[in-house]
Copies of this chain bind each other. A is one copy, B any other.
Amino acid sequence: MPFIVIDGPPMKTVDQKRRMVEKLTEAAAEVYGYDRKIIHVIIRENEPANVGAGGRLIADIHAERESGS
C-alpha cells in the first residue's frame, strides 16, 4: 500500500508503461509523503470494444471518426 490501478487503452511500448509507473508512483509518493518503495501500480489495458463512454463502445466511436462521418 498504497496501490494505484489505472484503466486505460492498450499501451504502445514497454517504455510508455515504464514512464507511467514512474510518474504515477512519484506523484503519489510526493503527495502522501511516503517512500516510493511502498507504492504499487497496476496498468490495465482495455480493448476499445470493452469500454463504453456515453453509452457507446469506444470501438464504435473510433470507427465513426475514421470513416469521417
Contact = CB atoms under 8 A, between A and B. Distances in A.
Interface of A: 1-9, 14, 16-32, 36-46, 49-60
Contacts of A20: 27-28, 31-32, 52
Give how many copies assemble into the complex.
6
Contact of A27 (B23, B50, B57, B59): B23
A43 B9 CA distance: 13
26 contacts: A3-B3, A5-B5, A14-B59, A16-B31, A17-B49, A19-B31, A20-B28, A20-B31, A21-B52, A21-B56, A21-B57, A22-B55, A22-B56, A23-B27, A24-B24, A24-B28, A24-B52, A25-B54, A26-B27, A26-B55, A29-B55, A40-B40, A40-B52, A42-B51, A43-B50, A44-B50
